[in-house]
Amino acid sequence: MVRTAVLVSGGGSNLQAILASQLFGEIQNCNLVSVISSNPGAYALDRARAAGIEVSVVDVSTFPTKRTFNTALMQKLGDLDIELVVLAGFMQVLQRPICKEYENRIMNVHPSLIPAFCGPGQYGLHVHQQVLDYGVKVSGATVHFVTEEVDGGPIILQKAVDVLPDDTAKTLQRRIMEQAEWEILPKAIDLFCRGKLTVEGRRVRIDEGA
């Protein structure tokens, strides 16, 4: 069983999707050891507690620098002997030492079709507002491995979602979560934990065999 930590900062609907997929047996060989939040007030922590998962808080506001925050987070992951790190609405940038230590073992869900509408400062509703302002007709979600380049790592799964004429950032966000994120993030975790992912340069090969 792959020892897994889910890192969160906010509402935790992606965490909830992971928990539901585990209950339905759709994620195999995954031991969800801990949910770690950068924000002590995150509703995701309540969701984790309700599911009986151990929680910890590495409160970003208590650290003098991003570097010391990253060091504390890496310590926590090491203490828990974590093998897979899942960023599910985690709003902090991971710096080089963590990215190197967990190379191709950290995955993130981003609410657009990377490489569009991504990179530094692109998170949450900002992404969907930019999609609307640009006028694209299709957006979606991406799960990718994390490197020190924000949203720049090898892509594992993507799913497209139509942008509708009357969408607001909120309605688009919700539809992309429901139709894409909540499906592809649990699926990517399952593929990883069953050893079905191989990274070759920028490309992730998926072994579709049983």
For residue 12, how far is the Cα from the chain centroid?
A: 10
Of 14 and 38, the one with the shorter C-beta distance to ligand GAR is 14
Q: How far is the C-alpha of 6 from the C-alpha of 107, rounded, in Å?
A: 10
**Is 140 among the residues that bind ligand GAR (CB under 6 A)?**
no
d(CA 148, CA 170): 29
Q: Which stretch binds ligand GAR (CB under 6 A): 5-13, 45-53, 67-75, 202-210?
A: 5-13
For residues 88 and 156, which CB has a smaller minimum distance to ligand GAR in the complex?
88
53 touches ligand GAR (CB under 6 A):
no
| 11 contacts ligand GAR (rule: CB under 6 A) | yes
Asked if 110 contacts 177 with a C-beta cutoff of 8 angstroms, the reply is no
Secondary structure of residue 60 in the 3-state scheme: helix
Q: Known catalytic residue: 144?
A: no
Of 105 and 110, nearer to ligand GAR (C-beta) is 110
Quote the least distance from Cβ 64 to ligand GAR, whole Å.
24
Supply the minimum distance, in Å, between the C-beta of residue 44 and ligand GAR: 6
Select the residue whose beta carbon is closest to ligand GAR and give its number: 89
Least separation in angstroms between residue 177's CB and ligand GAR is 6
Q: Which stretch binds ligand GAR (CB under 6 A): 9-17, 47-55, 58-66, 186-194?
A: 9-17
Q: Toward ligand GAR, which CB reaches closer, 54 or 178?
A: 178
Number of other residues whose CB lies within 10 A of the CB of residue 149: 10
Give me the DSSP letters along 88-139: SS--SPPPHHHHHHTTT-EEEEESS-TTSS-STT--HHHHHHHHHHHT-SEE
The rounded distance, in Å, linking the Cα atoms of 57 and 90 is 12
Contacting residues for 113 by C-beta, under 8 A, at least 6 apart = 138, 139, 140, 141, 142, 158, 160
Catalytic residues, which ones? 110
Binding residues for ligand GAR, per CB under 6 A? 10-14, 44, 88-89, 109-111, 123-124, 127, 177, 181
